[in-house]
């Protein structure tokens, strides 16, 4: 499948996602995209994005996100679309082959042209946010922001499947907006798994501008402290 066709298919599927802005449906998955929301040239350093996390951001496309950390750069192993303002950028640092294995893809699947793509947006679903808020309060945590991160596999024939969990931990780094980074709080990520249980994933890096965590769950996340 040609790249342009794959991009249009991916955008069409994302059009029915939890919080996707209508503008994104026409956006291709482009390499070296430039965003206006603190991710410039696919690089973010934790700077605060313009606008409220509750307003629809401009569509941002990128096949690779690179986040500048205190220990260097973290480059995502997969491409996707990033429209979130709750986090400035997202990078999956788990190697693509390992990620593929963890979500049920084989090397043969990859060689046959199956792609893995991410979609990161602000969570505007009231029910989802209420559930995360309740889980955070039950765990004695305070909510700092909501973000949705979905994973999809797309075969060469155009079959799109949403990934909600993995068999092995996947390492993800969020670049935090300045309003969070400057607090120096001990942030972590909370999600609700398929069994309805709250899962808290601690920050495993030492940079106040980033939040790196290991997860087996994908979808609605909340940043807590």
- Look-up: residue for tokens 């989802």? 128
pTM: 0.74
| Residue among 214, 4, 92, 220 nearest 100 (CA) | 92
pLDDT in tens, 103-143: 999 999 999 999 999 999 999 999 999 999 999 999 999 99
Q: What is the 3-state secondary structure (H, E, C) of 172-225?
A: EEEECCHHHHCCCCCCEEEEECCCCCEEEEECCCCCCCEEEEEEEECEEEEEEC
pLDDT in tens, 63-99: 347 887 777 888 899 998 999 999 999 999 999 999 9
Q: Does residue 79 contact residue 6 with C-beta atoms inside 8 Å?
A: no
């Amino acid at each position: 499948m040609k790249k342009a066709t794959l991009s249009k298919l991916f955008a069409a599927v994302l059009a029915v996602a939890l919080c996707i802005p209508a503008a994104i449906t026409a956006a291709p998955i482009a390499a070296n995209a430039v965003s206006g929301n603190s991710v410039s040239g696919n690089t973010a350093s934790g700077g605060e994005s313009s606008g409220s996390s509750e307003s629809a951001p401009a569509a941002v496309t990128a096949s690779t996100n690179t986040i500048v950390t205190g220990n260097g750069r973290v480059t995502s192993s997969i491409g996707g679309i990033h429209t979130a303002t709750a986090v400035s950028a997202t990078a999956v640092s788990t190697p693509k082959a390992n990620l593929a294995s963890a979500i049920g893809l084989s090397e043969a699947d990859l060689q046959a042209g199956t792609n893995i793509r991410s979609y990161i947006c602000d969570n505007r679903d009231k029910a989802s946010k209420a559930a995360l808020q309740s889980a955070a309060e039950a765990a004695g945590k305070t909510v700092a922001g909501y973000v949705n991160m979905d994973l999809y596999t797309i075969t060469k024939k155009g079959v799109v499947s949403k990934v909600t969990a993995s068999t092995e931990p996947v390492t993800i780094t969020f670049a935090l907006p300045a309003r969070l980074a400057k607090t120096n709080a001990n942030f972590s990520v909370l999600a609700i798994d398929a069994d309805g249980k709250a899962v808290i994933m601690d920050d495993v890096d030492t940079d106040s501008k980033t939040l790196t965590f290991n997860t087996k769950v994908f979808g609605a996340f909340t940043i807590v402290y």
